[in-house]
Amino acid sequence: MVKVLIVGGTGPVGQTLSKLFLSSQTPFLIGSRNPISINNENDNVASQSTSNWIHMDLTKNEGINKSIDDDVDTILYLASLPQATTNDGQPIDITLTKNLLNSIQKKNIKHLVYLSIVGVDKMPFSYYKGKLECERLIKESGIPYTILRATQFHSLVEDFANYLLNYPMDIVSKVAKIQPIQVEAVAMELAKIVKEPPLNSTYDIGGRKIYTMKEIADSLLEARPEKESTVNMPIIGEILNGFAEGYNTCDNISLNSNTWEEYLANKYPK
């Protein structure tokens, strides 16, 4: 029976995909460096997914050939190490991608699905430049592919807002734009992609609404016990200018995603 291999399937997106695949009875494997953790005895999804887990370490080029048997014809490539670099300062995601592609060149892979980020071709982050290079490697590999670029997850947007709010004075930009999306919405889109023919192209998906960082920070403070106010930060530098231009946002909205307000209401019920 044909299987889907989720490379890097122990993160939030991979865990959500596991739930979707178990529900739809889609055969799948999870390849990752670390085993799936079961937080409690009632975690049925994690328990079932554990039997589908195989060791696979793209950083050391280990376990890849064993992971990709003749039954695997679709790969969902989610693995990423945002903070890690090689000895020469190159984003390690490039190494992961090269190792994966080298291992599957002679395999019967009919569809390689890669999760990327909206704005990788315009935002001047080192990590984004690495993701863009990974996209290029996939496109030139000759393997049929679809690349999905998603906007930032709600939790990441909250972490970024908290980072800004940790300064002595809460200074955030009222023109920098951000478009949070629900993890589940991205997982649903990926689950749909694997059932369709490869596009051999890239497309974007974003959250239901575009906000300014000041709106994000103010609503976060309102949702939490503290009732502080924020001060506008002027746009300085190439990175902030990219946020102001909305390079990290897109027009293709996921109707499956909840809004930022709904995310806050679920996390901080009153």
- Interatomic CA distance for residues 27 and 18, integer angstroms: 10
pTM equals 0.89
Question: Count of domains in the chain?
Answer: 1
Q: What is the pLDDT of residues 84-117, one digit of tens each?
A: 888 887 889 999 999 999 989 888 899 999 999 9
Q: What is the pLDDT of residues 132-158, one digit of tens each?
A: 999 999 999 999 999 999 999 999 999
- pLDDT at residue 44 above 80? no
**pLDDT, average across residues 156-164:** 88
**pLDDT, average across residues 245-263:** 96
Q: Identify the residue with better confidence: 234 or 101.
A: 101
Instruction: Answer for the pair 36, 62: CB distance below 8 angstroms, yes or no.
Output: no
- pLDDT at residue 233 above 50? no
- Interatomic CA distance for residues 85 and 126, integer angstroms: 10
CATH of the domain at 71: 3.40.50.720
Give how far Cα 149 sits from Cα of 38, 43, 121, 146, Å: 29, 30, 11, 10
Tell me which of 158-162, 205-209, 229-233, 245-249 is least confident: 229-233
**What is the domain range of residue 186?**
4-267
**pLDDT, average across residues 161-172:** 70
Burial of 236 (0-12, 13-18, 19+ CB in 10 A): exposed
